[in-house]
Structure 1
Amino acid sequence: MPTSPSLRPPVPPTVWLARGRHVGPAPQDALLRHLRQLKDSGAIDDFLDPSEAEDPVDSVGSEGSGDSGDPGALADPGELVFEARWRVARTVTVRARLTLAPGSDGGQEWVLAAEAERPWDQGWPSPATMFWPEEPDADWDHDAATGLRLGDVNRLPSDDKAMRRVLRDAVRGSWAVNIVVHEAMTPDARGQLPLARLLPAGLRHRVVEHRAAPQQLRAVNWALRDAGVEVPRGGAIVLPGHPAWPEYTSDDFSVRTVFLDGSEPSALIDAVTRYVASPRPFPDGAEDAVTALREQWRLLTLEEELARERALVAMYAEALDAMTKSRDLYREAAEAAHEALAVYRENAASVPATPPPAEHPASPLRQLTRTLERFRGTAKSLRPTPGTREEGDAGPDTSER
């Protein structure tokens, strides 16, 4: 069961999150090739090759990145971890971690978490383009939940059941920002271009655009009734994520009119930007990705390695000091116990043995009672029994008759 939004922390403003699917062959080769090109051009400072990170000491790049040696930092079996570091606005460092793992229904699923040293500016370059090559019809830019393309126009299926499934997956399972745009009339060539191209660079690979044909408005709103939102005729709406947060309202993130004539949809761009900047709770699995980025980071600079080693030395010294104090306390307690036992034994040997307590003398009344009972027993033994003659009592002589 999904966790309640009130129990989930919001996504930090410094974090950039995305999850997608690579549907082509050799995604690892595409990643490494692009990372090397960006490092050679100076677009990124350094990156971590997962094949080299398996060594106990890793040194990718001139800055001396290294493996932390922490077993918890290793990826799950079948999962590859790529790390990259670059700077934006000249001085702000961005650290990003991309994991690549086999998908449940084919292809490779990737999860990307990036964090900057200050709140994220959507005008900064997309972290996705720091790992993946930005090419037409690329294999990597598919949403993991819906399979639809990121930053492209995705027309809703004409079949109502298939449409409901797509929108349900978009609301419940996608990390992307899903927007539904209704075409009041069939647009021209300029109106058929994706709206994501007009978004800031940091949003282009986080948006899935669904297009509803003019005749699909009623079916779309019927499919969205469980989400509690509706698409205005000729307008657009940013769908709530899962879990939705209490502050979300359809009025705040819907646009009454979107002109599909090639002009910039400023109202829709504002709605998407406000949606991303709002305190949304973590989607399923996203909090683990951010935790791994912070706690299992291995692409360290020389200064970071030195600080890390100093922290380890301080931690070991503190643990050794605690063990020494514990040993001393144990030894003092043992010595005190031995001394107490010796004193007890000495005192026990010097005290004479006490005789057993004498019986209490019987009371005079009890002695008199016992004497009377003894006399009464003697009197009973002297009393003649019936049929016996006392000595000297002559009975009639029956010997001669």
Structure 2
Amino acid sequence: MPSSPTDRPTTPPTLWPARGRHVGPGAADVLRHRLRSLKDDEVLDDFAELPAAEDAAERVFEARWRAPGEVTVRARLTLVPEADDASRWTLVAEAERRWDQSWPSPATMFWPDTPDAAWDHEAVTGLPFRDLTPLPSDDKAIRRLFKDAVRGWAVHVVVHEAMTPDERGRRPLTRLLPPSLRHRVVEHRAAPDQLRVVNWALRGLKVEVPRGGAVILPGQPVPPGYHDGAFAVRSVFLDGSEPTELIETVTRYTELPRPLPDGADEALTALREQWQLLTLEEELARERGLVARYAEALEAMTRSRDLYREAAERANEALAAYREAVPGPAPDGSAGAPAGSALQQLTRTFERLKGSTKALRPTRAEGDGEVPPDTSGREVS
């Protein structure tokens, strides 16, 4: 198996992440048309295209809808143009509770759910999500393909055909997956005579596909719950029947507490912290939160000012006491006993003030790093 996971945050169970490519032109127009259509049909509660900066090529779309059970789902899709009129898209959706794979796919809330869709391609390999892809005939090409596959966000499944299937067996198995998994899984098909070559190519990942079975590639970083044989299926019948064991294994893999893949942490942070499509209640809650934070900051600044003023008054009192006790130097240049006593008292006073003012100094968050001016109106020498 590949190296152990890094210290990345764990994927929240409420999250649905996916990345893909739109291989034709006009991706943004396709998104706008789909979102507007679903809003008119009341499938979406609302959607928005966020204003883009003048020098930014990417476009950002937000949508909000309700999953079964009145569970609110918020989703954010970022579209980045690439060469040859293609576009790369990143979509993260988060629900109010744990994600249910039987819910509608967030991808179909932004993209048209048609068989010939141009958007339905995995970001790294460029392979389609809802179709099967025969493995290349070249051994090294297969190995390169698997290395690329585990770097992306998608789940890659390798299925070995024990014998050449008929028309029913050549239909993609991903179409039988729960709706929320159909646009996150890529199916690779190995011909009957490719088993040895495929397992040679999988050696670097320390997994293998059983004869006539399937295996789910571990991804990078490897999920903590992934171990040898745990996500291999001994037999997959390619006769048109539902592959129950394979579906259960794929579902179980997607529900592992996996580390967030590369770029997913930033996408999730943007969804949570830069969300603009607010309801009226959410806008009021946000404004109340801002008012509360401003009130806390003002209170901290006022408290800091009062503490500094009190410290300055004590310093002035100590200095006045010193001046009264020491009217001037003795004729022989030495200080008298009262002066020494007063000086010691003043020194102790300033030492106490020094310690107390350090403790009273406001933090950068409260005072922005600036010391409030002395408002006592007295001059401190």
- Length-normalised TM-score, structure 2: 0.83
CA shift for structure 1 position 203? 0.6
Q: Out of 92, 107, 110, which is 1:131 matched to? A: 110
CA shift for structure 1 position 11? 1.2
Amino acid at match of 1:259: F
Partner of 1:253: 231
Q: Out of 301, 305, 310, which is 1:327 matched to? A: 305
Q: How does 1:1-400 map to 2 (within 5 A)?
A: 5=5, 7-51=7-51, 77-103=56-82, 107-171=86-150, 173-349=151-327, 352-354=330-332
Alpha carbons of 1:292 and 1:350: their partners in 2 closer, same or farther (altered >3 Å)?
Answer: same
Gaps of 5+ in 1: 55-73, 358-401
CA RMSD, 1 decimal: 2.1
Gaps of 5+ in 2: 336-381
Amino acid at match of 1:146: T
CA shift for structure 1 position 249? 2.0
Q: List per-residue Cα deviations over 1:331-379 (Å, max 9, x = no partner).
A: 222222222222222322156433679xxxxxxxxxxxxxxxxxxxxxx
Amino acid at match of 1:36: R
The CA distance in 1 between the partners of 2:3 and 2:205, in whole Å, is: 17
Q: List per-residue Cα deviations over 1:239-274 (Å, max 9, x = no partner).
A: 101010232123211111111111100110010011
**1:85 and 1:94 in contact (8 A); partners too:** yes
Secondary structure of the 1:349 match is coil
Amino acid at match of 1:272: V
Alpha carbons of 1:10 and 1:75: their partners in 2 closer, same or farther (altered >3 Å)?
Answer: farther
The CA distance in 2 between the partners of 1:309 and 1:303, in whole Å, is: 10
Secondary structure of the 2:207 match is coil
**1:22 and 1:107 in contact (8 A); partners too:** yes
Task: State the identity as a percent.
Answer: 65
CA shift for structure 1 position 182? 0.6
**2:48 and 2:61 in contact (8 A); partners too:** yes
The CA distance in 2 between the partners of 1:99 and 1:3, in whole Å, is: 30
CA shift for structure 1 position 78? 2.1
Aligned length: 334
- Length-normalised TM-score, structure 1: 0.79
The CA distance in 2 between the partners of 1:322 and 1:266, in whole Å, is: 61
Amino acid at match of 2:18: A
Partner of 1:389: none
Q: Which has the larger radius of gyration?
A: 1
Amino acid at match of 1:273: T
The CA distance in 2 between the partners of 1:46 and 1:138, in whole Å, is: 23
The CA distance in 1 between the partners of 2:333 and 2:137, in whole Å, is: 108
Alpha carbons of 1:4 and 1:104: their partners in 2 closer, same or farther (altered >3 Å)?
Answer: farther
Alpha carbons of 1:257 and 1:304: their partners in 2 closer, same or farther (altered >3 Å)?
Answer: same
Secondary structure of the 1:287 match is helix
The CA distance in 2 between the partners of 1:332 and 1:184, in whole Å, is: 86
CA shift for structure 1 position 107? 2.1
CA shift for structure 1 position 289? 1.3
**1:75 and 1:81 in contact (8 A); partners too:** no
Alpha carbons of 1:284 and 1:356: their partners in 2 closer, same or farther (altered >3 Å)?
Answer: closer
